[in-house]
Amino acid sequence: NAGVMQNPRHLVRRRGQEARLRCSPMKGHSHVYWYRQLPEEGLKFMVYLQKENIIDESGMPKERFSAEFPKEGPSILRIQQVVRGDSAAYFCASSRSGYANIQYFGAGTRLSVL
């Protein structure tokens, strides 16, 4: 997972606050994926973005969650009005191109909602 940078590593929010998770892909990678991992579970796909475009958001909850990957700067996963059930580890992965290209993961952001 060298090269994919996520911050913060740990984030604590109270119910109702907003959480912003950032991901900078590996150098040369223009495809970003976000996953969520609950304790004792595997990672669940949320959204796939290419620069300035959302390609596949089939795993994103319909409300409160949004993602962007602007032309300049990191990809952002935004969770509005957080609830306790949002507590999880959120991982970002990047790949050089899409479909069938190897995804490399960051170290994750652990979100705790009080």
Where along the sequence are the contacts to another protein (CB under 8 A)?
1, 4, 6, 33, 35, 40-46, 48, 55-56, 58-59, 91, 93, 98-100, 102-108, 110
HEC sequence for 59-86: CCCCCCEEEECCCCCCEEEEECCCCHHH
The C-alpha atoms of residue 91 and residue 28 are separated, in whole angstroms, by 19
Residue type for position 34: W
Nearest distance, CB of residue 55 and another protein, angstroms: 6
Please state whether the peptide bond connecting residue 8 to the residue before it is cis, i.e. omega within 30 degrees of 0.
Answer: yes
Nearest distance, CB of residue 112 and another protein, angstroms: 14
Nearest distance, CB of residue 16 and another protein, angstroms: 27
- Which CB sits closer to another protein, 38 or 83? 38
- Which CB sits closer to another protein, 48 or 69? 48
The C-alpha atoms of residue 79 and residue 65 are separated, in whole angstroms, by 5
- Which CB sits closer to another protein, 2 or 72? 2
- Which CB sits closer to another protein, 47 or 113? 47
Q: Both tokens of residue 55? A: 């390609």
Nearest distance, CB of residue 8 and another protein, angstroms: 14
Q: Both tokens of residue 59? A: 């795993």
